[in-house]
A and B are shown apart, each in its own frame.
Chain A
Amino acid sequence: MKKIFRSVWVIAYREFLRFIQDRSRMFSSFSMPILFLVIFGAGFGKLIGQMMPGMNYIQFMYPGILAMTVLMSSVMSGVSIVWDREFGFLKEVLVSPLNRSGILVGKAVGAAGIAVMQGIIMLVVAPFVGVSLDWKIVLSLIPLLLILSGCLSGLGLLIGARMRSQQGFQLLMQLVIFPMMFLSGIFFPLTGMATWLEVLSKLNPVTYAIDAIRQVFLGNQAAGVIIFTHTMSIVESALLVMGVGLLLITVAIWVFNKQE
């Protein structure tokens, strides 16, 4: 047990170290969400705003953008493992006495930790876009962001567990990330969509995370995701995302162990 813990710690430690030293990555992970916030906010603000009386579109979108920052950053866990394989560093890790499952969990912990830090930094933007923050919101936000980033880094690892080239990984990731993003309710409310789109978005774990995060910010103004007739609460959504995350990481560990 102590050994597994050490494996997780050592691997996560390196992820943090790498992140701190790579400034370009730090900035680039903010650029996309802020770009979306500004462009979508200015472009669709009026249009979509009409669908939600009494709410400003940016206030609606901001929680989603926060989640998007975390999402973009957590799937980097997969890039990191592919990178290590491509540049040989993975061999150094594999011949060390580190526990194999611990290695993957460490990658997930590292990526999730970095993603949450970035999410918290994104909170700085809140006052500028008219979103009010207090300690209660921030404190309930952190576990939600952790759960979301854990889940998505699990997805990144699962995809990265077998892949050899970074280009291949990036390409596949685009194919997965963009539909997940657009079908999660970041940019527009999921009510009133075509039925097939609604079904797809309800199969998307990110939807539940976004919904929970939005409920934290907007309280009753945000509608919970309705499954059949049941409206999901924050805790229920969080548990669901956590369950999916654990499943993804377990499968990733299994695939990785088989491969290496």
Chain B
Amino acid sequence: MEVIKSEKLVKRFGNLEAVKGVSLEVKEREVFGLLGPNGAGKTTIINILCTLLTPTEGKATVNGFDVVKERTQVRESIGLVFQEPTLDEYLTAEQNLRFHAYAYGIRREILEQRLKELLEMMELWDRRKEKIRTYSGGMKRRLEIARGLLHHPKVLFLDEPTLGLDPQTRHRIWDHIKDLRKREDLTIFMTTHYMEEAENCDRIAIMDYGQLVALDTPDKLKDAVGGDVVSIRTEDSEEAIRLLKEQYKVQPSQQNGTVIFTVQHGEEYLPGFVSSFPLHLISIGLHRPTLEDVFLKLTGHTIREQAADPLQHIRRRRMMRGH
């Protein structure tokens, strides 16, 4: 059964079309990742699904409720962790959670137990009486995840849950997310621009410039790249590309002076290639395809290239602010 369903969602902000007809379905109890560079429209989609924005065109349902016509029911079915913290810094962790519980009308007899269970799961029970001001970024994020789960939502939305955290903390957040899947009857919908993290999802939708370019399991997406990825560096990339196309019949692409192409059975291919390639090779590498390669193949650019103009990025973000 689908917990989330969107049909041809479109969102325009003035002249800017942030989401251009996105249709997707998320199944019950899966971890669904929306992967794409900053400004691809991921947050806009989350904001539509959680009723903070109204779509310009198209429709979407969450837990069977329409995100425009049945907002209250949708809001009751979901938990949210935003990119930027949304805690009251002047209250304690426990007070923040209690406010949430009252707002969602959680019954008292359930609340106490649930509060303890979640705070312990997120390893915050000992510090529940402390003000949020004293919390680190990772602790805040964990508390927000606990808060998002307090009312037993059907879907937990995580918008870049590990953004701005150090690698160790990121790792820990992921351990918690994996742990959640085992314990709770929960569907997780998350966005990320970290390729490594997207690997942890059951299915991934890859998004670029407001459109979905692929939707499948990480393994299938990687298989679609076609074999193994060979990356070479030479003194003349242009010439190398020409040679590869004409003599080796592969489709090379270039990024930062490295030429990349895919072949079947890379280990066996490599020795023959090295001895026959006419240009001087500075370096050569071989790896199983990653999601980075998938993204490059599907969009023709890497996920990081787009963030090259930070000003444009900020401008876009301002326009797309949910409120």
Which A residues lie at the B interface, using CB under 8 A?
6-7, 9-10, 13-14, 17-18, 21-22, 85, 87-98, 259-260
* CB pair A21 B90 closer than 8 Å: yes
Nearest to B102 among chain A residues (CB) is A10
Main secondary structure of the interface of B (DSSP, over half): loop
Fill in one digit per residue for B68-102: 1 if any A CB lies within 8 Å of its CB, else 0.
00001001101010101111111100010001101
* CB pair A18 B103 closer than 8 Å: no
B residues near A6, Cβ cutoff 8 Å: 102, 105
* CB pair B86 A91 closer than 8 Å: yes
CB of B323 within 8 A of chain A? yes
A-B pairs under 8 A by CB, number: 66
* CB pair A95 B50 closer than 8 Å: yes
* CB pair A95 B78 closer than 8 Å: yes
Contact of A95 among B51, B85, B87, B99 (CB under 8 A): B51
Q: How far is the CB of A202 from chain B (nearest CB, A)?
A: 39
Contact of A13 among B85, B89, B102, B322 (CB under 8 A): B102
- Contacts A/B (CB < 8 Å), 15 sampled: A6-B102, A9-B102, A13-B102, A14-B88, A14-B99, A17-B95, A18-B91, A87-B89, A88-B84, A90-B86, A91-B323, A96-B75, A96-B103, A259-B323, A260-B323
If A13-B102, A88-B85, A260-B323 touch, whether A95 touches B91 (CB-CB below 8 Å) is no
Nearest to B72 among chain A residues (CB) is A97
A residues near B88, Cβ cutoff 8 Å: 14, 18, 87, 89
Q: How far is the CB of B49 from chain A (nearest CB, A)?
A: 11
A residues near B100, Cβ cutoff 8 Å: 92, 96
For B, the interface residue count at a CB cutoff of 8 angstroms equals 27
Nearest to A9 among chain B residues (CB) is B102
A residues near B105, Cβ cutoff 8 Å: 6, 97
* CB pair B86 A88 closer than 8 Å: yes
Given contacts A89-B86, A95-B75, A98-B103, 11 further A-B contacts (CB under 8 A): A9-B102, A10-B103, A14-B88, A88-B85, A88-B87, A89-B87, A90-B86, A90-B323, A92-B87, A95-B50, A260-B323
Contact of B52 among A13, A89, A94, A97 (CB under 8 A): A94
Most chain B CB atoms below 10 A, which of A90, A91, A92: A92
CB of B13 within 8 A of chain A? no
Main secondary structure of the interface of A (DSSP, over half): helix
The CA-CA distance from A85 to B91 in the complex, in Å, is 16
CB of B248 within 8 A of chain A? no
B residues near A21, Cβ cutoff 8 Å: 90-91
Fill in one digit per residue for B248-275: 1 if any A CB lies within 8 Å of its CB, else 0.
0000000000000000000000000000
Nearest to B144 among chain A residues (CB) is A92
CB of B104 within 8 A of chain A? yes
Nearest to A22 among chain B residues (CB) is B90
The CA-CA distance from A9 to B99 in the complex, in Å, is 11
List B38-80 residues whose CB lies under 8 Å from chain A. Answer: 50-52, 72, 75-76, 78, 80
List B98-122 residues whose CB lies under 8 Å from chain A. Answer: 99-100, 102-105
Fill in one digit per residue for B138-173: 1 if any A CB lies within 8 Å of its CB, else 0.
000000000100000000000000000000000000
A residues near B80, Cβ cutoff 8 Å: 91-92, 95
The CA-CA distance from A11 to B176 in the complex, in Å, is 31
List B300-323 residues whose CB lies under 8 Å from chain A. Answer: 322-323
A residues near B52, Cβ cutoff 8 Å: 91, 94-95
* CB pair B84 A97 closer than 8 Å: no
